[in-house]
Structure 1
């Protein structure tokens, strides 16, 4: 009985081992299908980005230079204006009247001077013949001098009234865009106090940014870089995410570093023919490196991170081999590999989640370079 039981147990073990063996053979893992791409050695331009703000290179506050009531507003708020275009009119009536008074006073002073000059010329002839008292001649000299001064004063007053009359009309100082009007018809304005509007030049436009002081030397070099426009060293992205098509150049480097922030203000200049850049816009500035650099690049999707370490799967004879790498900066949709790869090695870019080191793989697609 015991012998029969032992034989049955041995038979059961043999059956189980044979069954597992057949199962392993039937469920042997098939090669995983992946997509690969070659690590490429490419010459690239890297760039840094900075937050920036658009500013008007020319901006003027329009203020009244004379006292009076606004009798004319000749612009539409927000419109583009031309240099010399009439914008506002302060009531000119009182200034026209003062001008007429000044013209009359100047005319009287001029006629008076002519009369005194003739008298003085007669006194000079009499003095030459010793036919006039010295006191009379001296009085005539003083009277002539006073008449000349009176005429000069009258001319100055006439000039002042002309200036006041001119200031009663406010013209655009340059081509630009006008803002919201701060006065309305009938508003009383005072010299130097009353803000009428603000006008800013549209083209070119400034862009201000504030890099850290450690970048100052680099920007000093770029200020004199001869191909700054040709190489599109400075470019910007607009708030809607679109890239502005025209490159810029450095206009001003501030004289000093801000002690509180450790940054320096730099102003760029961009052509703005279509007025796409407006003062106050929040922009992203891209500063391209001037020197080309050859680096090994792989798609970002090929990188695998675990516990702060990065690796990629390279393919050697249809076997996936996991290789540790040291990644660098990103460049568009790729990443620079500083250590661990050589140009031409094929790395897995799709399917890395399904494989592990040593797995047999099947390349179903090789991405274009």
Structure 2
């Protein structure tokens, strides 16, 4: 009790009360300082959570004429040859590079089935002729007797019908023989004109089907280049347009002229075939040689030449996409995901065919760190 009494006296002493007040004020000030520091730190941390992004504002781009296509030289007249029958090749009389004359035999099938069918048709034709001659003789005899009144109408009609049927049978037999003869001829391939053998795609004892390409001949004096052009550029390519050709294998650079633009898409490579005539070709250019092709179309400028860097293009299971910056104000913006259709790759970047409009803000780097709806710092 004495200790408590003394402690109470010390606490209630004026000096002690003053010290306690000062201590309380200092504690409060310290607490306020700590609280403000924590809030400031929290605000700083909150600002740091917004990732900074690099972006560009979409505008029209003038594309320079630097797009290069891969082409292949071909003769002015290229002829693909095939059999019109199925069978086994028994003769191959030419090789690549060989010159052939019009009408020269190039390749032959066994033709066993066609030959057997022809022989059967020939026998049927002989029998039909014999029956027709007999029926004709009976008909002429019956007609005379009928006119003399020595033959009944019924008998006359019978021999007349027999003759007509025999005549029809003969006509059918003649047609069948002609068809079988053509089938035999279909087992031979002859040169349709003077030419050079460019390809041979079949060998002796190989079984081939009707319509299968077994040989390619090149004829004519002019040389062309065939090149596939993408759908994003095909509308810019016109007949009469110039082209620059670079044959690296023979170190020759030549000029050409577009003479044919196909309106039909090649399903194998998703391009449109374009034929270019080589101006003043040299003897060192042979069919099948590869060449680089650039079309002389100046600068490709249009109202929708939107080009983005490759780093701005993403891809997922649904296709190609870009990240746009939406609802941007001050230094912040919201990421949006937008699917696009891309065109060809140019020196300026990749051409965008659909999905991006002028004035949009497109993220150009770090796509793998972003998600749709994310807030970013500009």
TM-score when scaled to structure 2?
0.49
1:225-281 superposed Cα distances (whole Å, 9 cap, x missing partner) = 5xx6xxxx22311133734546232312425799xx9x9625123256747143372
Q: Which structure is richer in relative contact order (CA contacts within 8 A, separation 6 or more)?
A: 1
Structure 1 residue 94, shift from structure 2 partner: 6.4
TM-score when scaled to structure 1?
0.50
Residue equivalent to 1:284? 293
2:72 and 2:227 in contact (8 A); partners too = yes
Structure 1 residue 49, shift from structure 2 partner: 4.8
1:134-181 superposed Cα distances (whole Å, 9 cap, x missing partner) = 221221122112211221222123213312321232223453424244
2:95 and 2:197 in contact (8 A); partners too = no
1:97-125 superposed Cα distances (whole Å, 9 cap, x missing partner) = 65455334323422431332232133233
Alpha-carbon separation, structure 2, partners of 1:124 and 1:180: 64
Pair 1:237-2:246 in alignment: yes
Pair 1:201-2:208 in alignment: no
1:81 and 1:172 in contact (8 A); partners too = yes
Structure 1: unaligned runs, 5 residues or longer: 1-45, 291-369
1:2-32 superposed Cα distances (whole Å, 9 cap, x missing partner) = xxxxxxxxxxxxxxxxxxxxxxxxxxxxxxx
User: How many residues are matched?
Assistant: 229
Alpha-carbon separation, structure 2, partners of 1:196 and 1:48: 36
Distance 1:148 1:124, change over 3 A: same
Structure 1 residue 198, shift from structure 2 partner: 3.0
Residue equivalent to 1:183? 203
Alpha-carbon separation, structure 1, partners of 2:285 and 2:146: 79
Distance 1:183 1:212, change over 3 A: closer
Structure 2: unaligned runs, 5 residues or longer: 1-63, 300-378
Structure with max Cα Rg: 2
1:55-79 superposed Cα distances (whole Å, 9 cap, x missing partner) = 6574525346143x43322112443
1:64 and 1:189 in contact (8 A); partners too = no
Residue equivalent to 1:60? 80
Residue equivalent to 1:149? 168
RMSD: 3.9
- Following TM superposition, where does structure 1 have runs of at least 4 consecutive aligned residues deviating by more than 4 angstroms? 46-49, 92-98, 255-258
Alpha-carbon separation, structure 1, partners of 2:298 and 2:217: 33
Residue equivalent to 2:274? 267
1:348-368 superposed Cα distances (whole Å, 9 cap, x missing partner) = xxxxxxxxxxxxxxxxxxxxx
What's the secondary structure of 2:103's corresponding residue? coil
Alpha-carbon separation, structure 2, partners of 1:192 and 1:257: 23
